[in-house]
């Protein structure tokens, strides 16, 4: 029996870990999985050393506050690596921890797949050396990542994005003020990003319904991630102004996708999922002050787009509302145009379909095929 260790430090990584396990089981491979992930991977039979919900924080201050948790987690990881050498170590995203794990594991000559590597195309390009030195297979899931690695001469294996098999294109629905209008809100999974994004989302909805007299004809669907502990508290503050707010569990989000006419989504994986479903959307992003200062003055990061759909398309196909324009009016205006401007709505939908096609064409491997080949130590053609 082969043994695979997986380190997936947040709720998003847990989804990828669970999908990987499910795919490997479908091949009838006799493999045991253990490591760090969440409920989804646990449900698929993975043995957890640490639950990823304990690591689901973002920002430098939160990392500092949770140092003891990270230290205990590190101790747990090293104990297991010292005790038993796995046939394969799969690292999923979460670079702050996973690059350290890769360095440590390489001392034991462990074969390593980095699935969803660090965003070196965006910042911290010094990590490229670490990826080259400590990992055997770099498996990016986005075209712009593959292009970056190719330009840098870094061997990599572009894999198919799991959402292409899970999220299906919805037909573009007609919208009118006489019929119910459904707005999808996905404010994030971490407390800090929900605090930053969700109040502005709901304020924009109130602005929209007042402007177009939609109070009796508007319904909001909010997707709740496993770790969204503060979602209900914020909703309680807006209930009197928004007649219908529905909380949808994360694992039932496709039900909300089928109903949604438009989306108001925080940047990240969520906005790509909504875009892949063909739902016209606006993306919002609001970082904390310390992170903004570090990006601008320490790392000197410059970027044209923050949303995955625009990055994949390499052009503006959805509106991004960032720091300089972040307000309930800006969000409301963007939503209004996507709902009531038929030409703009249609163009948005067409652009989303083209973006999906681009994502499909870039993938060269399925992740389960890459894992099987890595386990068997077969030679792979690196791109």
Proportion of the chain above pLDDT 90, given as a percent: 71
Number of domains in the chain: 2
Structural domain includes residue 281: yes
Do residues 144 and 210 share a domain? Answer: no
pLDDT, tens only, 102-143: 999 999 999 999 999 998 887 788 899 999 999 999 999 999
The per-residue pLDDT for range 161-193, each reduced to its tens digit, is 999 999 999 999 889 888 899 999 999 887 888
Same domain, 151 and 258: no
The number of angstroms, rounded, from the C-alpha of 90 to the middle of its chain's C-alpha atoms is 18
Same domain, 261 and 137: no
In this prediction, residue 324 carries a pLDDT of 60
Residue 74: pLDDT over 70 = yes
Weakest mean pLDDT among 137-146, 189-198, 217-226: 189-198
Do 206 and 355 belong together in one domain? yes
C-alpha dihedral, 368 to 374 to 376 to 379, nearest 10°: 120
Does residue 27 or residue 350 have the better pLDDT?
350
208 and 294 inside one domain: yes
What is the domain-level CATH number for residue 271?
Answer: 3.40.50.2000
Element (H, E) at 113: strand 112-115
Q: Are residues 66 and 131 in the same domain?
A: yes
Is 204 within the bounds of a domain?
Answer: yes
- Are 129 and 209 in the same domain? no
- My answer on whether 116 and 54 are in the same domain is yes
**Domain of residue 57, residue span:** 2-158
Q: Are residues 153 and 194 in the same domain?
A: no
Asked whether residue 373 is assigned to any structural domain, the reply reads: no
DSSP 46-78: PEEEEEGGGG---SHHHHHHTHHHHHHHHHHHH
Q: Is residue 45 part of a domain?
A: yes
Q: What is the pLDDT of residues 248-290, one digit of tens each?
A: 998 899 999 999 999 999 988 899 999 999 999 999 987 655 5
């Amino acid at each position: 029996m082969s043994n695979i260790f997986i380190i997936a430090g947040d709720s998003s990584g847990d989804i990828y870990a669970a999908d990987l396990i499910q795919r490997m089981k479908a091949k009838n491979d006799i493999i045991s999985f253990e490591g760090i992930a969440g409920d989804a991977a646990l449900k698929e039979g993975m043995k957890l050393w640490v639950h990823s919900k304990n690591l689901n924080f973002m920002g430098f201050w939160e990392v500092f506050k949770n140092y003891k948790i990270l230290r205990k987690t590190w101790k747990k990881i090293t104990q297991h690596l010292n005790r038993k050498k796995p046939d394969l170590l799969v690292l999923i995203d979460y670079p702050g921890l996973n690059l350290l794990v890769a360095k440590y594991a390489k001392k034991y000559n462990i074969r390593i797949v980095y699935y969803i590597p660090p965003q070196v195309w965006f910042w911290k390009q010094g990590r490229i050396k670490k990826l080259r030195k400590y990992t055997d297979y770099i498996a990016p899931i986005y075209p712009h990542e593959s292009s970056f690695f190719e330009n840098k001469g870094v061997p990599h294996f572009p894999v198919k994005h799991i959402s292409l098999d899970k999220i299906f294109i919805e037909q573009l629905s007609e919208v009118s003020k006489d019929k119910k209008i459904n707005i999808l809100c996905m404010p994030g999974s971490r407390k800090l990003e929900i605090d930053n994004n969700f109040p502005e989302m709901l304020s924009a909805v109130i602005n929209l319904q007042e402007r177009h007299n939609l109070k009796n004809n508007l319904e909001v669907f909010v997707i709740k991630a496993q770790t969204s502990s503060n979602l209900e508290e914020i909703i309680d503050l807006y209930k009197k102004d928004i007649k219908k707010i529905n909380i949808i569990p994360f694992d039932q989000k496709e039900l909300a996708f089928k109903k949604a006419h438009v989306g108001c989504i925080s940047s990240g994986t969520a906005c790509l999922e909504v875009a892949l479903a063909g739902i016209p959307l606006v993306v919002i992003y609001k970082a904390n002050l310390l992170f903004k200062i570090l990006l601008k003055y320490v790392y000197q990061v410059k970027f044209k787009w923050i949303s995955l759909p625009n990055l994949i398309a390499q052009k503006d196909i959805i509106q991004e509302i960032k720091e300089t324009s972040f307000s309930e009016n800006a969000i409301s205006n963007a939503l209004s145009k996507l709902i009531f401007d038929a030409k703009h709505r249609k163009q948005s939908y067409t652009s989303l379909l083209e973006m999906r096609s681009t994502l499909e064409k870039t993938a060269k491997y399925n992740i389960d095929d890459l894992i099987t080949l890595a386990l068997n130590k077969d030679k792979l053609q690196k791109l």
